[in-house]
Amino acid sequence: MCAAKTMFDKIWDTHVVCEREGGEQLLYVDYNVVSEGPFYAFNALRQEGRRVRYPGKTLAMADHYAPTTGRSLGVKGVADPEARVMIEQLEENTKWAGISRHYGLMHPQQGIMHVVPAELGMPQPGMVIAGADSHTSTNGAFGACGFGVGASQVKHILATQTIWLRKPKAMRVAVDGALGRGVSAKDVILAIIAEIGIGGGAGHAIEYAGAAIRSLSMEGRMTLCNMSIEAGARVGMVVPDERTFEYLRGRELAPKGADWDRAVRFWRTVATDKGAEFSREVRLEGSAIEPMVTWGTCQDEAVPVTGRVPDPAAFSDPARRHRAESALAYMGIAPGTPIRDIKVDRVFIGSCTNSRLEDLREAAAVARGRKAAVPAMIVPGSMTVKRAAEQEGLHEVFLGAGFEWREPGCSMCTGSNGDRVPYGERCASTSNRNFEGRQGKGSRTHLVSPAMAAAAAVTGRLADVRDFI
Ligand code: SF4
């Protein structure tokens, strides 16, 4: 009788090509995703006289450097010369490599590299997906292993459609029960990271389980898996179910006809076997999770919105205490400050964590009929999201409330395109990183859900979304 296996073990084991001394294994990669960043990988291939092995298995997105305004003149009209060059290089490289799935700046499906693939039906249960960005873990929402890879690995994947990796251990995080009113997937993942710490998932592939996780939409599961990286994990995954299959049905890259039936039969076998062992198990109670806010410069420095900024002296671990002291000095907030007393200077709703249609609907439900008290910017994750939101009239809700309605891209998540939080300003943001300077030099970031961000926009402070819905 075969031993019970975790979903991660099953997927990993079916992708192993061979093993080398030292324990690394060569994995077949089903799909690879790049954005403007890894131009060096294409350059290196050219210099070595090599080709891209399977151009049809790579998707390319213009996102990090995509301007979110003024696109009428196309790529030539991109005002920032560095951004223009990066976008042009991606165009040239994909053309050279024969990568036809290039979602360039003016493509009707352009968007963020962790938003567009799901819209296309690319991530499917049982796949190994690599991407030149750590948040490739987002694809785990579909029961796939999504690995973010570095510079030399991108080149290796382009050349061979394989990657050398050391196998992480499997870890399970279960969130039981039901989530309360106003609590979203973003709050769940911030609560998980606050519980296990930014290194809590290190060396592991996390499988999320429990009733609260199963109740999440596919968009919510993507938010959850997206931020697994912020807990130090290599991968975050949710077992595929009927909701997964329904999401994929009919999408461009999903199997069709008899292939669809065959695929669904296989997808049902991907789930973790009963009795399979994980190297670590963590349990949280969903009903105990409140809307969350980060107060520091790491994602585990988060508390419920009803709480207070902690006193570093309360941390028994000296390293943690020192980290909290530095974070508070950078953030310019005093220990003990009630979270709801913290004023913000601006709001960003976007990024690969929270820029999907459901996110925009949740933000719009709060913004509807209210007025922004501080500058607030909505950046949809893709053209597809933007069009769908406009069909529902969400843009009118936002514009009516005084929010900006922008073109898709990474935008203020990291500011590569010039959308930055000015020095010293405090931003309530739906992105995934609150590191020093992440949204611009001297920027201060508080990570929140889309609805919480909208509540911050209409009040000018960190507010409890439950007072608005
Ligand atoms: S939105 Fe932010 S985290 Fe996501 S791919 Fe873009 S820069 Fe990276």
- What mean pLDDT do residues 93-103 have? 98
Average pLDDT, the chain: 97
Residue 142, pLDDT score:
98
Regarding the beta carbon of 61 and ligand 1, being less than 6 Å apart is answered: no
Helix axes 383-391, 357-367, angle to 10 degrees: 40
Q: Which atom of ligand 1 lies at the shortest distance from residue 414's CA?
A: 7
* pLDDT over 90, % of the chain: 99
Distance 36 CA to ligand 1 centre (A): 12
112 lines ligand 1 (CB under 6 A): yes
Q: By the 8 A CB rule, do 60 and 103 touch?
A: yes
Query: 352 CA distance to ligand 1 centroid (A)?
Result: 6
Nearest CA to ligand 1 atom 6: 410
Q: Give me Rg for the CA atoms of the chain.
A: 21
For 387-415, the pLDDT digits (tens) are 999 999 999 999 999 999 999 999 999 99
Mean of the pLDDT values across residues 9-35?
97
Give the max Cα distance, the chain. 64
306-330: average pLDDT = 97
Give the long-range contacts of residues 248-253, CB within 8 A, separation 24 or more: 248/121, 248/124, 248/142, 250/121, 251/119, 251/120, 251/121, 252/120, 252/121, 253/120, 253/121, 253/122
pLDDT tens track for 288-309: 999 999 999 999 999 999 999 9
When pLDDT is cut at 50, 70 and 90, the band that residue 152 belongs to is: confident
pLDDT confidence of residue 336? 98
pLDDT given for residue 2 in this prediction: 72
114 CB less than 6 Å from ligand 1?
Answer: yes
Cα-based distances in Å from 420 to 50, 146, 294, 308, 404: 38, 28, 19, 27, 14
Ligand 1: does its nearest atom lie under 6 Å from the Cβ of 145? Answer: no
- Per-residue pLDDT of 166-223, as tens digits, reads 999 999 999 999 999 999 999 999 999 999 999 999 999 999 999 999 999 999 999 9
Question: Is residue 462's pLDDT more than 80?
Answer: yes
Mean pLDDT of 223-248: 98
Torsion angle defined by CA atoms of residues 229, 230, 231 and 237, in that order, rounded to the nearest 10 degrees: -40
Predicted local confidence at residue 1, as pLDDT: 56
Domains contained in the chain, CATH given: 9-165 (3.30.499.10), 169-288 (3.40.1060.10), 292-467 (3.30.499.10)
> Does residue 442 carry a pLDDT above 90?
yes
Q: How confident is the model at residue 151 (pLDDT cuts 50, 70, 90)?
A: confident
- Tell me the mean pLDDT in the region 212-237: 98
What's the rounded mean pLDDT across residues 337-355?
A: 98
**Pocket-testing residue among 349, 377, 410, ligand 1, by greatest number of atoms within 8 A of Cβ:** 410
Q: Are 185 and 216 in contact (CB under 8 A)?
A: yes
pLDDT at 432: 98
Mean pLDDT of 254-273: 98
Taking the centre of ligand 1 as the mean of its atom positions, its distance from the CA of residue 312, in whole angstroms, is: 30
Q: What is the mean pLDDT of residues 36-57?
A: 96
